[in-house]
Chain A
Amino acid sequence: MIRFVDIWKSFGGKAVLRGMSLEVKDGEVMFIIGTSGVGKSVTIKLLIGLLGVDRGEIWVDELRVDTLPERDLYPVRKRIGMVFQNATLFDSLDLAENVALPLRKHKGMRQRDALAEAERRLAQVGMAEFAHRYPAELSDGMRKRAAIARTLTLDPEVVLFDEPTTGLDPLSARRIDRLIRTLSDEVGVTSIVVSHDLTSIFSIADRIAFLYQGVVHMVGTPDDFRGSGDPVVQQFITGRSQGEMETPGF
């Protein structure tokens, strides 16, 4: 169980999260949705200490993680993996070396063993034949699949996906959706997915949290959202430009 309790976070004096609270159950696929800049990516980065909270508490089971120093966050990051929006593979390493890096650092595996395991993990996402290619030689979709392999290589209990299907063709996007669903159904992995992709959201989410004005405006199943009479929720999920929703910058 992951719990965000009354989270506040500001950047340069601008409050992004203003008392946000949310619970994510074990094994579920939770989507966090909302307009750009509302704090979706910030929320998942706060969970693993890549950003610090201004106020509030974050709990992973019985462990409070928002107060942990960097060194004590490493075991947490072994349990909670993250797939970043921009693949974030290291340009100077080939795919196998990229995937092997967390195995060497988190699990202390020897380079040769880590590389063998990395190649096996790349095969799971259909990237075995590209194991010794460099990120610059591959497409966005391929890089993203390799980044997923790198995250899954530590067998995390929770995986955070930051806009995993952004910039991908529909076929690659649905493959990633299927992978997220399979991780939850077959391995029991909890997934927290930040996304704007309504097809993904309504096809694989167990629950959805809608962030609006710094707080969770609504949490529910896809059916709850479809049937919601809330005009702000309806405007967001139907993508109407006119309505009650306040969109900063427009």
Chain B
Amino acid sequence: MSPPLPSLGLRRRVERVGAAVLDGMDAGFELARTFGATVRGVFRSQRPPGEVLAQMYVIGNKSLLFVAVTLGFIGMVMVYQSCLQLNRITGDLSQVGPEFLKLLIQEFGPSITALMLATRVGAGIAAEIGSMKVTEQVDALRMSGVTPIDYLITPRFIASVIMTGVMTVFAVLIAFAAGGLTAASSFGVNANTFFDPGRVRVFDIALGAIKTLSYGMAIPVISGFCGLRARGSSEGVGAATTAAVIGSSLAVIVLNFIISGTGLLLLGDGR
């Protein structure tokens, strides 16, 4: 006797889950192909002249205030809270500045800057490319003999890699300075004691640099990929923009976990 067939409702639900899994896998492979094509595009010369500089301006200059304000306040709050807690326990605030700088370089500077860029820059890239997709400009590029990834994503990729680095350095300096001012004004910590880079090791700088590079590569590729997958009309562009912000932010968090975890496993904490 053959086993009973599943009900139609159950079968449809299983089919829907299966289709979603297959779509997800397909999107994953396509994203990997987009990343590969973007990197290859760096070594080709299909980019519009001056586009990398224009994108550096958009990504860097236009995010400056946003990143400065965010990291400035985060620096102030973190140092204030740290000093408050340490005052209750040991009262020794001499290591707050050096440890804060170490943490900023390997963790908060790259990651929070990248999260800010993922929202501002990622949304912009997806909206721009998505609009071009739904108005057939991407098809027109293909008809003109241009590879859309080379023309649209690669310049943003190069600009993002450079400017994420620049913005991270800027963010670390702002947060450190804001933290130092808070420590001095609220807890009387001496500036020479706070602004001491002695705890920072090559390992911290390397980890921060790897994270910055990875985020700088991930944000434009994911956002551009979402833009190129936009369908329909303005609704499709909106969906692509939302997907780009979520995808880029998630990528920053996951990459942070992977890079930090790998670094600690391979090298310990670098002491």
**Given contacts A86-B135, A88-B135, A105-B46, is CB(A77)–CB(B142) below 8 Å?**
yes
What chain A residues lie within 8 Å of B46 (beta carbons)? 105
Would you call B144 and A101 a contact (CB within 8 A)? yes
Residues of A in contact (CB 8 Å), total: 24
Q: For the complex, is B262 an interface residue (Cβ under 8 Å from A)?
A: no
Q: For the complex, is A139 an interface residue (Cβ under 8 Å from B)?
A: no
What chain B residues lie within 8 Å of A92 (beta carbons)? 48
Partner of A84, one of B48, B49, B136, B145: B136
Cα(A86)–Cα(B132), bound, Å:
11
Cα(A89)–Cα(B136), bound, Å:
9
**Given contacts A92-B48, A105-B46, is CB(A74)–CB(B145) below 8 Å?**
yes
Question: CB-defined interface of B113-154 with A at 8 Å, one 1/0 digit per residue?
Answer: 000000000000000000000011101111111100000000
**Given contacts A92-B48, A105-B46, is CB(A45)–CB(B144) below 8 Å?**
no
Q: For the complex, is A110 an interface residue (Cβ under 8 Å from B)?
A: no
Min Cβ gap B73→A in Å is: 35
**Given contacts A92-B48, A105-B46, is CB(A85)–CB(B136) below 8 Å?**
yes
**Given contacts A84-B136, A85-B136, A86-B136, is CB(A50)–CB(B145) below 8 Å?**
no
What chain A residues lie within 8 Å of B145 (beta carbons)? 74, 77-78, 102, 105-106
Cα(A78)–Cα(B145), bound, Å:
8
Q: For the complex, is A48 an interface residue (Cβ under 8 Å from B)?
A: yes
What chain A residues lie within 8 Å of B49 (beta carbons)? 111
What chain A residues lie within 8 Å of B141 (beta carbons)? 90
Would you call B146 and A105 a contact (CB within 8 A)? yes
Would you call B143 and A45 a contact (CB within 8 A)? no
What chain A residues lie within 8 Å of B142 (beta carbons)? 50, 70, 77
Min Cβ gap A106→B in Å is: 4
User: Given contacts A77-B143, A84-B136, A90-B140, could you give 7 more A-B pairs where the C-beta distance is less than 8 Å?
Assistant: A48-B143, A50-B142, A77-B145, A85-B136, A86-B136, A101-B146, A105-B145
User: A residues bordering B, Cβ < 8 Å?
Assistant: 45, 48, 50, 70, 74, 77-78, 81-82, 84-86, 88-90, 92-93, 101-102, 105-106, 111, 150-151
Listed by A's residue number, 25 A-B pairs whose Cβ atoms lie within 8 Å are A50-B142, A70-B142, A77-B142, A78-B145, A82-B139, A82-B140, A84-B136, A84-B139, A84-B140, A85-B136, A86-B136, A88-B135, A88-B139, A88-B140, A89-B140, A90-B141, A92-B48, A93-B48, A102-B143, A102-B144, A105-B144, A105-B145, A106-B145, A150-B144, A151-B143
The 7 nearest A-B residue pairs measured at CB: A105-B145, A88-B140, A106-B145, A102-B144, A84-B136, A101-B144, A88-B136
